[in-house]
Structure 1
Amino acid sequence: MSEALVRPLKVLGTRTYLWTAVTVLLLALPFYLDRFWLQAGLFAMAAALGAIGINLLTGATGQLSMGHAFFLAVGAYGYCVFAADGDDGLTGLGLPTWLAAVLAVGVAGIAGGLFSPISGRLSGAYLGIATLALVFIGQHVMFNAHDLTGGANGRDVPPLNLFGLTFDDRELLVAAVPFGSAEKLWYAGLLALLAGALFARGVLRGRPGRAMNAIRDHRIAAGVIGVPVARYRAAVFVLSSMYAGLAGVLLALVFQRTVPDYFGITLSLEYLAMIVIGGLGSVSGAVAGAVFVSLLPQLLTRYSDALPLVSAPGTGGIAPGEASRYLYGAAVVLVVLFLPGGLARVAARRRTRTLTEER
């Protein structure tokens, strides 16, 4: 076999071993990590799903959206309404929880579809301002539609039940290790993230992805060569909304209670920071940016006693959440100035350099 064929096979073998090791590690973590780290990982998975969705919209198609938090709220509260039995005095349809999750994602997509005529005609800052209005509308509904949302106090989230397994805090012994809700949800979150990432990767690498990139780079030229611009932009907005709805369902299951304050403009800005830091138009970049932005406040909270200038909430000084916003705000500035392609572009450059050196 020629040397030109051996080298790519070696690279492929190295990647296979690496991904196998990562997979085994992720599957084994619930057996060794405590609840804090598992919940932090679940928050990162939910954030990654939402970031993949907004990256399809903003990174791949060039549509600025500042209303992503609204669609996460639709998914979270939609799941509660479909799955709850109404015993707490709030509206609940009592559907099977797996069906409630599917319907919640569908309702988020429908909400995106209702907005898609606007998204198909607006672009840039105009679309950003229009989507920003969704957050304020959503906040008003969440605080005032008490029968649906529970008002300012929120509402409890029914645990997911799938194939007879209930994802609640009742302990289930697996290899002598007690599995609570976090351990059980870990695998559901991994499966959802894997499916979402593979689907988005297939979209971006196929004909739809090329059309989306053409719309992003030059909308008029894309229309001239036959790309139905308005239809594609509307469809991507719906798909992005469904990703956000799925992320909202997972967040609700992890939090076990939904509250309106979480789904505000700050959350939408965090998602924009995720895709800028990770890399626009890249699935792996969206995941990397989501992990960075979502884990940072968790780590600062965990180690606030050992970090300078950072203190526990309510004790004076800079709170962990505030400090995390300063840090990933600075990260956005640094990425824009020095790494325009984000973390994904750095990884791509390293792979290219490795292949060049081996040749």
Structure 2
Amino acid sequence: MVLPFYVTAFWLQTGLFTMAAAIGAVGLNVLSGTTGQLSLGHAFFLAFGAYGYVWFAGDSGRVGVGHLSGLGLPPLVALVSAVLLTGLVGGLFSPVSGRLRGMYLGVATLALVFIGHHVMLNAKSITGGFDGRSVTPMDIGGFSFTDGDPDGLEILGIPFGRLERLWYFALVLVVVACVTARNLLRGRPGRALGAVRDSEIAAAVMGVPVARYRSAAFVVSSMYAGLAGALIAMIFNRVVPDYFGLLLSIDYLAMIVIGGLGSVTGAVVGAVFVTMLPQILSKYADSLPLVVAPGSPDAGVGPGEAARYLYGAAIVLVLLFAPGGLVGLLRGRPGGDPGGRPLRLGRTKGSIRTGSKEQPQ
């Protein structure tokens, strides 16, 4: 709550990207961590949320030699509409997710990223093509989240511009998203999703409609991604297709693995780690060995590449020594999930689980 009064614009923007990533990571953790469905297409739903908000809130008109379309809805209505539209798209894909498992589902979702990138480049009236499209700033009841407020807003002598205003808006969205996900996972739906992850056969025997819950998990995850994508668009102030690529999907998978699968807190911790690490390396590149600033002619590793090496190594270490992720280490349970239960990966050494019993192999 007090950070906007003390930190610079660089850290405010980094924190905003971290909060957007936390929302998207929580949604992916519901799908992959809790339900056990591998998704490599999270970037597609992030893009859908971002461009959905831009299209719903933007106005139609000519730009250069092209023509951009938009509905001109109030920004808050556009945000809600973008989230609902992304959930609808996730629901349309859910029959595919209901029929595929494991790596096959991952490959199917991976195809969404490439299809989405092609559409973003060619649907120029909506996306602006390769050059992207500017974003309509959020506006709630006449209170605009921009730097150009004619009245000016100062609190305790600190001018509150676009980043400061977006900070508190994003903070509210993160809290609502995390509380909603926590209540979902702690209730009956969360127990059903966990049962589907552990054993679909056992879950079906217990009366859990497996297909329905797998589809619901995809819809919820897509809506979270849509909200995160719309927030990213507001932070960037311009969206371009190249940002929503395969590497972004891999970043989100890294977030939930490093933070802790199946944990809302773990998703947030992983988002902080993966999002802030390249920013910190870029900020202090001159002081770090083997790391060079972006665009520098000196030999070395750029901040982005160095960050991927580091959190790639972190994934390996987490999988080997701390299956509960960083949040498990923080809570003193490196070998279990954040709820204190041992991780159940479907098959244990020397036995096969069927229902609640273990049979010798």
TM-score by length of 1: 0.89
Equivalent residue for 2:243, pick from 262, 273, 294: 262
Q: Secondary structure at the match of 1:85?
A: coil
Q: Secondary structure at the match of 1:54?
A: helix
**In 2, distance between residues paired with 1:76 and 1:253?**
8
What corresponds to 1:78 in structure 2?
52
State whether structure 2 residue 313 is matched by structure 1 residue 313: no
Amino acid at match of 1:111: V
Mean Cα deviation higher: 312-321 or 66-75: 312-321
Unaligned runs of 5+ in 1: 1-26, 352-359
Q: Secondary structure at the match of 1:313?
A: coil
**In 2, distance between residues paired with 1:236 and 1:205?**
14
State whether structure 2 residue 323 is matched by structure 1 residue 335: no
Equivalent residue for 2:275, pick from 263, 270, 294: 294
Equivalent residue for 1:136, pick from 101, 104, 114: 114
Alignment of 1:167-246 (within 5 A): 167-170=145-148, 171-246=152-227
What corresponds to 1:356 in structure 2?
none
Percent sequence identity over aligned pairs: 63
Deviation (angstroms), 1:284: 0.2
TM-score by length of 2: 0.88
Unaligned runs of 5+ in 2: 335-361
What corresponds to 2:306 in structure 1?
323
Alignment of 1:45-56 (within 5 A): 45-56=19-30
Deviation (angstroms), 1:175: 2.1
Deviation (angstroms), 1:350: 6.6
State whether structure 2 residue 321 is matched by structure 1 residue 347: no
Q: What do residues 217-266 of structure 1 show as CA deviations (whole Å, max 9, x unaligned)?
A: 01111111110000000011000000000000110000000011110000
Q: Secondary structure at the match of 1:93?
A: coil
Report the number of matched residues. Answer: 325
**In 2, distance between residues paired with 1:283 and 1:56?**
8
**In 2, distance between residues paired with 1:303 and 1:345?**
29
State whether structure 2 residue 230 is matched by structure 1 residue 252: no
What corresponds to 2:87 in structure 1?
109
**In 1, distance between residues paired with 2:331 and 2:295?**
43
What corresponds to 2:4 in structure 1?
30
Deviation (angstroms), 1:314: 1.8
| Contact map agreement 2:324 2:333 (CA 8 A) in 1 | no
**In 2, distance between residues paired with 1:250 and 1:300?**
24
Q: Higher helix fraction: Structure 1 or Structure 2?
A: 1
